[in-house]
Amino acid sequence: MTMDGSAGVARLILWFSPSFPTGAFSFSHGLEWAVEAEDVQDRASLQAWIDGLLRHGAGWSDAVLIAAVHRATLAGDDAALAEAAELALALQPSQERRLEATVQGEAFLKAVETGWSHVLITHFRQMWREPVSLPVAVGVSAAANAIPAHDAIPAYLTGLAANLVSSAIRLAPIGQSDGLRVLSALEPAIAELAVRAETATLDDLGGCAIRSDIASMRHETQATRLFRS
Which tens digit of pLDDT belongs to each residue from 27-55?
999 999 999 999 999 999 999 999 999 99
Note the pTM of the prediction, 2 decimals: 0.96
pLDDT at 4: 61
Task: Report the chain's mean pLDDT, rounded to a whole number.
Answer: 96
- d(CA 197, CA 145) in angstroms, rounded, equals 20
Contact criterion met (CB below 8 Å) for 24 and 229? no
Span 95-143, pLDDT tens digits: 999 999 999 999 999 999 999 999 999 999 999 999 999 999 999 999 9
Query: Quick one: which H or E segment has residue 219?
Result: helix 210-219
pLDDT at 8: 86
Write down all domains in the chain, each with its CATH number in brackets: 28-219 (1.10.4190.10)
Res 14 pLDDT > 80? yes
202 vs 207 pLDDT, higher one: 202
